[in-house]
Chains A and B, each alone.
Chain A
Amino acid sequence: MMAGVIFVFSAAALLQFFISYCRSLIAASSKQVLSAEVKDVTGIHRIASGDDFQRVMQLLQLCPERPEDRNGVQAIGAYFSLLNFLRATIARIVPSLRAWTESERGQCAYFAAVALGRRISFSRDMLAQQMDA
């Protein structure tokens, strides 16, 4: 009985901390402006849509990975899956939740586009270093 109560409380807290942690990662990147080339490649100009996410993630996987980005990108990938699950289930009957999941999915896509911008400049730096060597 006690273990059951602890499990339910811990799982609820885990979900809440996970959502807040992912939103803190997203908030840190939402102030960054996308470079012109990232805008061209992703088609995201000012506001990203959740539908852009998969495409941007595919582009991200084409670039060499930056170790310091891996944690954030994976966490946001998991958060995006959670949002998709909510969108396909509870959000169908709660309109306000649907609007919220759509907005959050868009923010995830913007986060991925910012990470793509960082990876592009990282690849460019690596290439420049190789050319110099």
Chain B
Amino acid sequence: MLGPADYVLWFLTALLEGAVVLCALKRHTFRRYLALNMYMLGSLVVTILRFWIFSHYGFSSAQYLYFYYYSDALLTVGLYFALITLYSFVLGELQTGRHVRLAAIVLLAGTAFFSYQVIQQSSDRMLTRFVVEMSQNLYFVGLVLTYLLWGAILKLRETRAQIIQLVLSLGLYFSALAATYALRNLYPGLHLVWGHLPELIALSLPLAWAYTLWRIPVEARLAPSRLAVVSR
């Protein structure tokens, strides 16, 4: 049974996802960050569809559960590719676009293979287990890739404030979700600890992106060395 907090979070998520796309359109950055905006648009559609399925079939229905996990996996893959486009922004001058895309596809296939290896012992609902496992693993892979990208930003002295904030907020999102899922695997019975945590984390990404696209001008510059925790 869902409470008022769940409905508020649901509504806020849709609102913020829509806000990201609107901010991008208003600031004429929709095409510049096409992959990020398409991901947000996809998230908005999924949020609305989830609510529609929930209101027709109920929260505990098989339809809702299947749609939730399958759409989550698709969105995670979408976000993974959106992250790869941020790589092409940062490494653009090095002409490494093709290599990055190839590495991304190989890594995605590797993650899928690893997820299959983990669940292959399961006898029932194998595809669903695979989808859930792959989503969780992709959060961690996304975190590692964002961490590497942040390292590249520091190393290459990338100064575009929008790119820096988009990458950092993505890092926050991936690390918070990866930590939550790891904690869930460590303590499966502690439902109280993370009740609304994944939903709140999911809110943080559109919130941070909307803020960045709305408040930070495209031409704004930052010295990344000032942002590193360990000064360089």
Contacts and interface: CB of A to CB of B under 8 A. Distances in A.
B73 interface: no
A24 B143 contact: no
Interface in B135-186: 140, 143, 146-147, 150, 161, 164-165, 168-169, 171-172, 175-176, 178-179, 181-183, 185-186
Chain A contact residues (Cβ within 8 angstroms of B): what range? 20 to 34
B161 A24 contact: yes
B97 to A, nearest CB: 25
B226 A17 contact: no
A3 B183 CA distance: 7
Contacts of B216: 28
B70 interface: no
B179 A7 contact: yes
A3 B140 CA distance: 11
Contact of A21 (B169, B183, B186, B220): B169
Interface string A1-35: 00110110111011011111101110110000000
B54 interface: no
Interface stretch (B37-45, B76-84, B121-129, B206-214): B206-214
A68 B214 contact: yes
Given A7-B183, A24-B161, A27-B223, A71 B168 contact: no
A72 interface: yes
Nearest to B215: A68
B222 A20 contact: no
A13 B172 CA distance: 8
Contacts of B165: 21, 24-25
B229 interface: yes
Contacts of A4: 182, 186
B182 A7 contact: yes
Report whether over half of chain B's contact residues are helix, strand or loop; otherwise say mixed. Answer: helix
Contacts, number: 82
B229 A71 contact: no
Given A10-B143, A21-B169, A28-B216, A72 B211 contact: yes
B211 A18 contact: no
B143 A21 contact: no
B143 A28 contact: no
Given A24-B164, A27-B223, A6 B140 contact: yes
Contacts of B220: 28
Nearest to A25: B165
B228 interface: yes
Contacts of A18: 172
A116 B185 CA distance: 43
Interface of B: 140, 143, 146-147, 150, 161, 164-165, 168-169, 171-172, 175-176, 178-179, 181-183, 185-186, 207-208, 210-211, 214-216, 220, 222-223, 226-229
22 contacts: A3-B183, A3-B185, A6-B140, A6-B178, A6-B179, A10-B143, A10-B182, A13-B175, A14-B176, A17-B146, A17-B175, A20-B171, A21-B168, A21-B172, A24-B161, A24-B227, A27-B223, A28-B220, A68-B215, A71-B208, A71-B210, A71-B211
Interface of A: 3-4, 6-7, 9-11, 13-14, 16-21, 23-25, 27-28, 68, 71-72
Closest 9 CB pairs of A and B: A7-B182, A10-B179, A17-B171, A14-B175, A3-B185, A10-B178, A21-B168, A6-B182, A13-B175
